[in-house]
Amino acid sequence: MAQVLKEEVRSRILEAAEKVFYKKDYRGAKLTEIAKEADIPVALIYTYFKNKEVLFDAVVSSVYINFESAFDEEESLEKGSASERFDEVGENYINELLKERKKLIILMDKSSGTKHTEAKYKLISQMQVHIEVSLKRQSKEEYDPMLAHILASNFTEGLLEIARHYQSEKWAKDMLKLIARCYYKGVESL
């Protein structure tokens, strides 16, 4: 019974922290606000989390972005165009990520002052490498690496805009499909 109560309190702290970090960001959030949101004494937070940074890590850990495994899986597919490989692997991965969109936004937009400050740039860098691999695989021309960087940055911002303006799961999936279509086939494909 006591273990159930401990897990319930820990869950309340995490839910409250997510709300406060989402609203204020890491630097602006205060443990007193999180405790108030969780309806617990602030000292109880320290029973579960050493400090605010450890609490922040616990909030974002489930969405910490490492697209490398999804990119590797997509690149391992031998058949199909880049867009077909995205449809088979990448789209599902991103849709799962969007289910935890608030945590994604906290990680990407609200982590200044933590070890996760560079998370968005890490994602862009991983995506840039993925795009460079795809370009080499499909094109006979050699492109300036800045093209892959711009595409990676634009796609990442598009994904984050879907998360920031989320309306429903169907809306997010539809927007992701449209962005992917534009990304792979151009605006004229719409």
Following CA atoms 167, 172, 178, 181 in sequence, which dihedral angle do they give, to the nearest 10 degrees?
Answer: 160
9 φ/ψ angles, rounded to the nearest 5 degrees = -65, -45
Q: Tell me, yes or no, whether 184 lies in a domain.
A: yes
- DSSP H or E run through 73: helix 68-76
Q: Is residue 2 part of a domain?
A: no
Q: Are 30 and 56 in the same domain?
A: yes
Residue 3, pLDDT > 70, answer: no
- Which pTM was predicted? 0.87
Instruction: Give how far Cα 103 sits from Cα of 39, 117, 140, Å.
Output: 21, 14, 40
* Number of domains the chain contains: 2
Q: Find, among 103, 147, 113, the residue nearest to 14 by Cα.
A: 103
Residue 47 pLDDT: 93
170 and 110: one domain? yes
Give the range of the structural domain holding residue 153, as residue numbers without chain letter: 64-189
Tens of pLDDT, residues 123-171: 999 889 888 888 887 788 888 999 999 999 999 999 999 999 999 999 9
pLDDT tens by residue, 11-58: 999 999 999 999 999 999 999 999 999 999 999 999 999 999 999 999
